[in-house]
Amino acid sequence: MSKILVIDDRQGNLTTVRATIEDAIPDCHVIDAMSGKEGIELARREQPDVILLDVVMPEMDGYEVCKRLKANDLTRHIHVILISAYQTDSKSKVKGFSAGADAFLIRPIERAELAAHLSSMLRITRTEQLLKEALEQARESDRLKSAFLATMSHELRTPLNAILGFSGLLDKNTPGEEVERFARIIHEKGNILLKLVEDLFEITLIQTGEIRINKQEVNILSILAGLIAIAKRERVRLGKEKIGIRVIPANQMEDLVLYTDPERVKQILVNLIKNALKFTREGSIEFGCRREIWKSQQRISFYVKDTGIGISHENFKFIFNLFRQVDESNTRPCHGAGIGLFISKRLTDLLGGELWVESKEGVGSTFFFSLPGSFADHQRMVS
Ligand code: ADP
């Protein structure tokens, strides 16, 4: 819906102009102000598409209002049409355009002419918005390309260097226990590389819409039990044995019929758990689920909570984007390619659920992952 702000010190003018606009432009919301000061404030707050601005006003005239609107980052993009009944000479028009106005109309204005001007300004505003979006998309693609190259060269090289380095150290004189240690490292780094390649393949499937979801009745308790074993293995792999792991399943879980893809649910939760362990130096992680009613629908909400480094509020929206990490430096202490949350979010969408985070820097994070479910009231049991 288009929004138009009319600034005029005369109530009669406001009423006539409002009636004309509402008559001529369907789906439009008109707001008004009776002084320049009030108009500037309203423009900042309401972000109209076009402003119709009277030239002759007490205290602050239309030229000054226009200048101030165009000098402010929050309002300079808004199109301004100046209207005057008295200052109609070309000098006044030049003064208006120099102040940043986009058009100058002389009163009395024909209804059709005002409507035509407004429609044209609204068309330009829409086109500008589309161009801005296209520019942002182009910038995002460019960023993705650079981030992809930087991340890949870093994340591929690190395990590859270890594999080449340790395999190069092996020969027939290497003591048995060293062979065992080196082989373990090579195996682990090989797995990291494999996971990276699998993630990249998964991204391609997601982006081409080829990913398959196999829904079936799911036993939540067995998924949680499987996750405990994975969390413990990951804790050892990261050498963080001191971090506690707690699992809190919901009560009466056996009443819950969840029809979803268990492998995908597991994939999402494993990713959240691994991140929780990765970004936590001390304390504990906890995961579990609870049954909820949300917007009159039954759903199950899983959560993964940690006492780790936390995430600042302004980074909430970025971390679910591809190749986005809070710390994007090459010297970041935690390895990662910024892929896991992107895949998890897309999979959650495909499962009809939601994924979000609550976090405080230095205190910890909780990731929530909810899925629609139906509580069977003992009629159906999932065993
Ligand atoms: P990766 O962990 O491989 O970098 P993800 O897509 O899984 O990629 O996560 C993206 C970013 O989100 C991480 O790099 C990190 O900055 C932030 N993040 C994810 N989970 C957590 C967490 N539990 N605690 C703090 N930061 C997190």
346 alpha carbon – ligand 1 mean position (Å)? 16
Burial class (CB in 10 A: 0-12, 13-18, 19+), 235: buried
**CA of 339, closest atom in ligand 1:** 6
Candidates 7, 11, 6; CA nearest to 25 is: 6
**CA of 325, closest atom in ligand 1:** 14
CA-CA-CA-CA dihedral for 246, 251, 253, 259, to nearest 10: -90
Candidates 300, 286, 293, 296; CA nearest to 251 is: 300
373 alpha carbon – ligand 1 mean position (Å)? 28
Q: How many angstroms separate the Cα of 340 from the Cα of each of 140, 249, 317, 319?
A: 19, 24, 15, 10
Cα distance between residue 17 and residue 5, in whole Å: 10
Q: Which residues line ligand 1 (CB under 6 A)?
A: 275-276, 279, 306, 308-309, 311, 319, 325-327, 336-342, 365
Query: Phi/psi zone of residue 338: left (φ > 0), alpha (ψ -120 to 50 degrees), beta?
Result: left
Q: Could you tell me how many residues make up the chain?
A: 383
Query: Phi/psi zone of residue 127: left (φ > 0), alpha (ψ -120 to 50 degrees), beta?
Result: alpha
Put the strands of the sheet holding 256-260 in their side by side order.
216-218, 256-260, 374-375
What's the pLDDT score for residue 341? 95
What's the pLDDT score for residue 382? 32
**Secondary structure of the chain in HEC code, one letter for each residue:** CEEEEEECCCHHHHHHHHHHHHHHCCCEEEEEECCHHHHHHHHHHHCCCEEEEECCCCCCCHHHHHHHHHHCCCCCCCEEEEEECCCCCHHHHHHHHHCCCCEEEECCCCHHHHHHHHHHHHHHHHHHHHHHHHHHHHHHHHHHHHHHHHHHHHHHHHHHHHHHHHHHHCCCCCCHHHHHHHHHHHHHHHHHHHHHHHHHHHHHHHHCCCCCCCCEEECHHHHHHHHHHHHHHHHHHCCCCCCEEEEECCCCHHHEEEEECHHHHHHHHHHHHHHHHHCCCCCEEEEEEEEEEECCEEEEEEEEEECCCCCCHHHCCCCCCCCCCCCCCCCCCCCCCCCHHHHHHHHHHHCCCEEEEEEECCCEEEEEEEEECEECCCCCCCC
287 alpha carbon – ligand 1 mean position (Å)? 17
Mutation pick for ligand 1 pocket among 275, 285, 331 (CB with most ligand atoms within 8 Å)? 275
Mutation pick for ligand 1 pocket among 325, 348, 356 (CB with most ligand atoms within 8 Å)? 325
What's the pLDDT score for residue 160? 92
Candidates 72, 79, 70; CA nearest to 102 is: 79
What's the pLDDT score for residue 315? 87
What's the pLDDT score for residue 378? 40
Cα distance between residue 164 and residue 234, in whole Å: 24
294 alpha carbon – ligand 1 mean position (Å)? 27
What's the pLDDT score for residue 148? 80
156 alpha carbon – ligand 1 mean position (Å)? 18
300 alpha carbon – ligand 1 mean position (Å)? 23
Candidates 86, 118, 91, 123; CA nearest to 103 is: 118
**CA of 337, closest atom in ligand 1:** 3
Mutation pick for ligand 1 pocket among 152, 267, 279 (CB with most ligand atoms within 8 Å)? 279
272 alpha carbon – ligand 1 mean position (Å)? 9
247 alpha carbon – ligand 1 mean position (Å)? 21
Mutation pick for ligand 1 pocket among 267, 341, 366 (CB with most ligand atoms within 8 Å)? 341
99 alpha carbon – ligand 1 mean position (Å)? 48
- The angle, 0 to 180 degrees and rounded to 10, between the axes of the packed helices 340-350 and 176-207 is 50
**CA of 343, closest atom in ligand 1:** 6
Cα distance between residue 293 and residue 151, in whole Å: 41
Q: Per-residue confidence of the chain (383 residues) as pLDDT tens digits? A: 899 999 999 999 999 999 989 888 888 999 999 999 999 999 999 999 999 999 999 999 999 999 999 999 999 999 999 999 888 899 999 999 999 999 999 988 888 899 899 999 999 999 999 999 999 999 988 888 887 888 778 888 889 999 999 999 988 888 989 999 999 999 999 998 998 899 889 988 988 888 889 988 888 888 888 899 999 999 998 999 999 999 887 665 665 668 889 999 999 999 999 999 999 999 999 999 888 888 888 888 999 999 999 999 988 888 998 887 777 666 666 677 788 999 999 999 999 999 999 999 999 999 999 998 765 544 443 32
C-alpha gyration radius of the chain: 30
